[in-house]
């Protein structure tokens, strides 16, 4: 919160008051900072009117915290004689009502930073709520959802606490139900909606040599049938996006005809594309390698882009941040695809060596900031711009719901920093060829602590300023462990 208060300095002591404040004791400065007084200023008018301004989480708490310190008692004792009236200054600080406030305008938009953050939407994945693991072992956790309905319950909790995660992506067949309309209604009743439908053509024995690129037409027909079924599910749930990822590839040179596989891929994509409704999109994901070791049929953004370009407007590329070689400049890809109007969505996560689906912002928060900077520059942050910001993560070691909340907060923090870039300073420095100045404009924003701003925003949205703490306090973690007994926990292949 921002606090402004007034006090009155005796007109005959003004000069001395100014002099004393040129040399505020270091221990007094430290005590104020520790008590949560941030960005604190005092302004003095010639007639003795003193105006104080500070930012803090809770003004009463900040005052009480100072009142407990010995240094404050000493400082106030020495200052008391400078003020008009009795008692020490702290006791007479009465906050004024704020009647107008103009936020800093967000870079690249006509909105304020807070309004842009308020409109941000982050989609959570149903599979992140279920059990997951490595190729070697799935470690089960207690309280994990047993049905798609329970996954939606958890997603609704994340949205209730963060206020910016109103959709949940489904994965078919992991989230197969008899009545998708009913599932969508269940989600709506809990304040969330169904997001992207993720297809799965990699878990049947038939797909050992590929799915839509398989040499056998019968297997290809089965795979395409699944993709079309996913579009039916989109119709039933009101979902806009069909997300496609293919594990297709080859392990050995000579195993199959690389070019023929591209033809088969193009054919399957075309048939699925033709089935899409007017308001539906196809999002094509790429992945550098895995599970195939020699050739991957959609290995990179260039391949995904080329196929989407041939298909038409409703086909766009998904950037999964974990699906690149180490050192790949992802913000270049973001910028290129934005310019071509072919960026449809993100699958956010982090990875250190290869794709690990760690929490977004965990491995490289600076990279996430650079990505969001490109988004903000292109004015592509708002839902109206059509880019879906989705998480695609698994939480093998850490508890799942708080990890997803943390991930949403990480995306918000990177976005807030990107919104704080001083557009004018950046452009001026770029045009003047001022390399260091331009870099400084970015780094200043990146190095800003945006957590107070986000806490303030959440309060304005009627949320708890600290969603992690609010989740711990809610008792939901204990409740699901208590209630979700019996049945089979959801997980890969469920």
304-323 positions binding Mn ion, by CB under 5 A: 320
Task: Scan for tokens 């208590």, then name that residue.
Answer: 482
Q: How far is the CB of 387 from Mn ion (least distance, A)?
A: 15
Closer residue to Mn ion, CB minimum distance, 256 or 357: 357
Of 285 and 464, which has the nearer Cβ to Mn ion? 285
> Is the Cβ of residue 116 or residue 155 nearer to Mn ion in the bound state?
155
Cβ nearer to Mn ion, comparing 304 with 445: 304
357 contacts Mn ion (rule: CB under 5 A): no
Residues 167-226 that bind Mn ion (CB under 5 A): none
Residues 271-310, mask of contacts with Mn ion (x by CB under 5 A)? ----------------------------------------
Instruction: CB nearer to Mn ion: give 256 or 320.
Output: 320
Picking from 95, 97, 77, 102, the residue whose alpha carbon sits closest to that of residue 87 is 77
Span of 45-53, 339-347, 379-387, 414-422 interacting with Mn ion by CB under 5 A:
339-347
Total number of residues that touch Mn ion (CB under 5 A): 3
Count of C-beta atoms within a 10 Å radius of residue 336: 16
CB of 195 to Mn ion, least distance (A): 13
Query: Is 392 one of the binding residues for Mn ion (CB under 5 A)?
Result: yes
Count other C-beta atoms under 10 Å from residue 107's C-beta: 21
Under the binding rule (CB under 5 A), the answer on residue 347 touching Mn ion is yes
Q: Report 6-25 residues binding Mn ion (CB under 5 A).
A: none
Nearer to Mn ion, 375 or 416 (CB): 375
**In which region does residue 246 sit, left (phi positive, over 0), alpha (psi from -120 to 50) or beta (all else)?**
beta
Q: Which stretch binds Mn ion (CB under 5 A): 66-74, 105-113, 224-232, 345-353?
A: 345-353
Nearest residue (CB) to Mn ion, 56 versus 330: 330
Least gap, CB of 68 to Mn ion (angstroms)? 50
Query: Taking CB under 5 A as the rule, does residue 355 contact Mn ion?
Result: no
Residues within the interface to Mn ion (CB under 5 A): 320, 347, 392
């Amino acid at each position: 919160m921002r606090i402004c208060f007034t006090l009155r300095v005796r007109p005959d002591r003004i000069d001395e008051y100014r002099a004393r404040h040129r040399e505020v004791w270091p221990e007094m400065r430290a005590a104020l900072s520790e008590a949560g007084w941030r960005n604190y200023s005092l302004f003095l008018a010639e007639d003795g009117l003193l105006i104080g301004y500070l930012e803090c989480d809770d003004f009463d708490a900040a005052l009480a915290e100072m009142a407990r310190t010995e240094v404050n008692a000493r400082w106030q004792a020495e200052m008391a004689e400078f003020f008009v009236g009795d008692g020490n200054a702290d006791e007479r600080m009465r906050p004024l009502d704020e009647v107008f406030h103009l936020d800093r305008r967000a870079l690249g938009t006509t909105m304020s930073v807070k309004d842009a953050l308020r409109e941000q939407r982050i989609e959570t994945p149903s599979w992140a709520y279920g059990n997951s693991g490595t190729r070697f072992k799935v470690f089960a956790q207690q309280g994990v959802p047993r049905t798609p309905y329970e996954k939606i319950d958890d997603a609704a909790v994340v949205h209730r606490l963060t206020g910016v995660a109103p959709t949940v992506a489904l994965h078919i067949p992991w989230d197969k139900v008899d009545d998708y309309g009913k599932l969508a209604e269940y989600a709506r009743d809990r304040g969330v909606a169904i997001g992207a439908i993720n297809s799965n053509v990699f878990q049947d024995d038939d797909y050992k040599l590929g799915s839509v690129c398989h040499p056998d037409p019968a297997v290809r027909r089965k795979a395409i049938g699944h993709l079309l079924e996913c579009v039916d599910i989109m119709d039933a749930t009101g979902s806009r996006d069909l997300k496609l990822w293919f594990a297709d590839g080859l392990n050995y040179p000579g195993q199959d005809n690389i070019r023929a596989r591209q033809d088969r891929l193009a054919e399957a994509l075309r048939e699925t594309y033709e089935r899409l409704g007017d308001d539906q999109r196809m999002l094509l994901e790429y992945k550098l390698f895995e599970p195939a070791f020699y050739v991957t049929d959609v290995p990179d953004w260039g391949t995904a882009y080329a196929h989407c370009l041939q298909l038409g407007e409703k086909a766009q590329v998904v950037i999964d941040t974990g699906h690149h070689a180490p050192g790949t400049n992802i913000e270049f890809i973001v910028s290129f695809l934005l310019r071509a109007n072919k960026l449809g969505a993100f699958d956010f996560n982090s990875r250190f060596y290869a794709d690990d689906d760690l929490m977004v912002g965990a491995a490289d928060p600076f990279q996430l900031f650079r990505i969001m900077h490109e988004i903000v520059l292109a004015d592509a942050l708002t839902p109206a711009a059509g880019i879906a910001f989705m998480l695609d993560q698994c939480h093998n070691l850490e508890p799942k719901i708080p990890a997803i909340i943390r991930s949403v907060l990480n995306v918000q923090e990177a976005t807030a920093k990107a919104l704080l870039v001083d557009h004018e300073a950046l452009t001026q420095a770029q045009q003047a060829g001022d390399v260091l100045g331009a870099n400084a404009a970015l780094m200043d924003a990146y190095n800003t602590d945006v957590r107070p701003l986000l806490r303030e925003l959440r309060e304005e949205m009627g949320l708890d300023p600290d969603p992690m703490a609010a989740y711990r306090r809610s008792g939901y973690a204990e409740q699901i462990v208590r209630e979700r007994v019996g049945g089979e926990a959801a997980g890969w292949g469920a």
